[in-house]
Amino acid sequence: MIRLTNLPIRWRLTLLYGGMLFLILVVFSSGVYIYFRNSLQKSIDTKIKSIGEVLSSSMSDKNDPSLFGNFERYLENVLGRKPKGKFIQIIDSSGRIGAKTSDIEAQTLPTSFETLERALSGEVVYETIETKPRHRLVTIPILDNKRVTSIVQVGTSLEDFDETMKRLLIIMVIGVPFSLGVILWIGYFMAKKSLRPVDQIRRAAVKISVSNLDERIDIGPRKDELGKLAQTFNEMIGGLKGAFQRINQFSVDVSHELKTPLTILKGETEVALRKERGAEEYRRILHSHLEEIDWMTRIIDDLLLLSKADAGEVVLNLDEIDLRDLIVDVYMNTRLLAEQKQIDFSLGDVSDTKLRGDELKLRRMLLNVVENGIKYTQQGGSVEISSAVDDGYVRVRVKDTGIGIAEEDIKYIFDRFYRADRSRKRESGSGLGLSISKWIAEAHKGGIEVTSNTPSGSLFSIKLPLSGGAA
C-alpha cells in the first residue's frame, strides 16, 4: 500500500485538490439533479391540479356526472381544448366511475381505498402510480354545500419526466468524471510547472559542498514564495561561505600564534643543550620559556572563554556596580602604561552611574579597549576615557589620536586574531581582546562600536543598559 506521504508533492497536491473538486462536483451535481427533479415534478403537479380544480369548480353544482353524454366535448367546453396525454375520470361518493377519458396508454389507473377515503374527507391527494411507464395522479374532491359529492382524478404519464431525469443523470455520471480527469491532468502539469524551481533548488543544493560554496540558485526574476525561498538559500550559502572562511582563517591564525612561542621554546632549548651552561644562563632560558608559556596560556584561556561564550556556558556574576568607580580604577591601572609611551592619558567627564553587571568582565572589557587605544597611539598622542547617560543607556567612550583604522578594516576589527596593522604582532596582543570585549558588551545586552578617521585616531563607544540589562 502506497502511503500518501511517500508520493511526490505534485502528486499529493493533484490528489488533494482533485479530491476536493470531486466532492464539490458531486455535491453540486446532486443539488442540481434534486432541484431539477423537484421543479419538474412540481410543474407536473401544478398542471394536473389546475385541470382538476377547473373541473371541480365547474361540476360543483352537478349531482350526477353521468348527465354528461359526451364527456370529452364537455371537457373541451370547460377547458377550452381537449387535454392531450392526460387521464381524467369522475368518481361518485360511492366509488362508481361516472365518466372518464384517457389520452394515455394506460386505460385504467388503479385508485387505492386510502386515496378515496382521504379525498372523500375533503383532502387533495397526490400519488405516483408505479406502472410502466409511471403516472402521476391527483385526486380532488368536488364539493356541493361543503359536502363531497364526487371526486375528479387527473393523471399524466411520467415517461418524458423519467427520460429527462435519466438523461440528466447520464450527463452528470459521464461529465463529472470526465471534467475531473481533465482538471486533474491540467492540475498535475500546473503543479509540476510550479514546483520546477523546487527541483532546481534541490539540484543546486546537491552541488553545494564545503569546497564549492560559490554555487548559487538561479530561478530567474521570480518574486513569489519560491523566489524568496531561493533568495533565502542563497543568503544562507553566502553566510556559510563567510563562516567557513572565518573558521579557516581562525585555524590559520591560531596555528600562527602558537607556532611563534613554540618555535622560540624549541630554539632556546636546542641552544641550551648544545653545551654546558651556568646556572644564571639556565635561569635566563627558563625565564624566557616561562614567558612563552604564559603567552600561550593566555591565548588558550582567551580561546576557551570565547568558545564557552559561543556555547552559552559562561555565567555572569551579576551585582550592582558603580561604573564611575570602575572607570576611575581602570584609568589608574593603565595610566603607567601611557606614561611609559609618553602619551597624554586623561579622564574626561564621567557620569555617576550605577548598573547591574559582572564587575570582573566589565573591568576586562574596559582594560582591553583602553590598552588597545594606548598601544596604537604614537608618542606624544593622547587617549581619553569618558562616559555619559543617553536614553536609558550609559555610553563609555575611549578616544585616541593613534594611527586609526582603515575603512576596509572597520568591519573586521572585532574578529578573532584580526589586526588592522599587520606589521605589529607580539607587542600588539593576541588579537582576541576586542573580540572578548564585544562579547562582554553583548552579554550585558549592550554593544560596542568603533569609528575612525585614518590617521587621526579612533573612537570606541561601549553601550550598556542602566538596569536589568545583563542576563
Is 67 inside a domain boundary? yes
Contact 149, 135 (CB under 8 A): no
| Pairwise CA distance, residues 403 & 380, whole Å | 12
**Cell numbers describing residue 460:** 570606541
* Within a domain: 169: no
DSSP code for 411: T
Give the pLDDT confidence of 346-383 residue by residue, as tens digits.
Answer: 998 988 888 899 898 999 999 999 998 898 888 889 99
pLDDT of residue 61: 53
This prediction has a pTM of 0.51
Q: Mark whether 269 and 407 lie in a shared domain.
A: no
User: Does residue 175 fall inside a structural domain?
Assistant: no
What is residue 470's predicted lDDT score, i.e. its pLDDT?
A: 45
Q: Percent of the chain at pLDDT above 90?
A: 15
- Domain stops at, among 310, 331, 360: 310
Q: Is residue 151 part of a domain?
A: yes
What percent of the chain lies above the pLDDT cut of 70? Answer: 85
Q: Please check the confidence at residue 39 and state whether its pLDDT lies above 80.
A: yes
User: CA–CA separation, 184 vs 11, rounded Å?
Assistant: 10
- Verify that 123 and 234 share a domain, yes or no: no
- pLDDT tier at 4, thresholds 50, 70, 90: low
| Mean predicted confidence (pLDDT) in 110-139 | 84
The residue range of the domain holding 45 is: 4-164
DSSP 142: E
Is 251 contained in some domain? Answer: yes
If one counts the domains in the chain, the total is 3
With 80 as the cut, is the pLDDT of residue 275 above it? yes
Predicted local confidence at residue 67, as pLDDT: 47
Distance CA 440, CA 326 (A): 15
Break the chain down into helix, strand, coil percent, rounded to 5.
55, 20, 30
> Could you tell me if residue 188 is inside a domain?
no
Cβ-proximal residues to 58 (8 Å cutoff; 6+ apart), any chain: 78
Amino acid 306: pLDDT: 74
Same domain, 291 and 331: no
- Give the CATH number, domain containing residue 440: 3.30.565.10
Q: Which of 121, 146, 164 is the last residue of a domain?
A: 164
Comparing 14-18, 201-205, 261-265, 426-430, the range with the smallest average pLDDT is: 426-430
Q: Whole-angstrom Cα distance, residue 444 to residue 462?
A: 11
Asked whether residue 341 falls in the same domain as residue 301, the answer is no
pLDDT the model gives residue 202: 76
378 shares a domain with 245: no
When the pLDDT of each residue in the chain is averaged and rounded to a whole number, the result is: 80
- Residue 333 belongs to a domain: yes
- Whether 72 and 118 map to the same domain: the answer is yes
If pLDDT is split at 50, 70 and 90, which confidence band does 71 have? low
Among the candidates 283, 310, 337, a domain finishes at 310
Same domain, 297 and 334: no
More confident residue, 72 or 346: 346
368 and 461: one domain?
Answer: yes
**CATH, residue 88:** 3.30.450.20
452/354 Cα distance (integer angstroms): 29
Q: Can you list the alpha helix ranges (DSSP code H) found in 8-129?
A: 9-58, 71-79, 113-120
Tell me if 159 is assigned to some domain: yes
Q: DSSP for 192-209, please give it.
A: HHHTHHHHHHHHHHHH-B
Q: Are residues 306 and 329 in the same domain?
A: no
- List the single range of 145-149, 172-176, 277-281, 467-471 with lowest mean pLDDT: 467-471
Q: Look at residue 430 in the predicted model and tell me its pLDDT.
A: 61
Q: What angle do CA 354, 308, 256 make, to 5 degrees?
A: 110
Q: Are residues 69 and 92 in the same domain?
A: yes
Give residue for cell 564585544.
438
- The CATH number for 294's domain is 1.10.287.130
Residues 158 and 276 in one domain: no
Query: Residues 331, 446: one domain?
Result: yes
Secondary structure element (H or E) that encloses residue 461, with its range:
strand 458-465
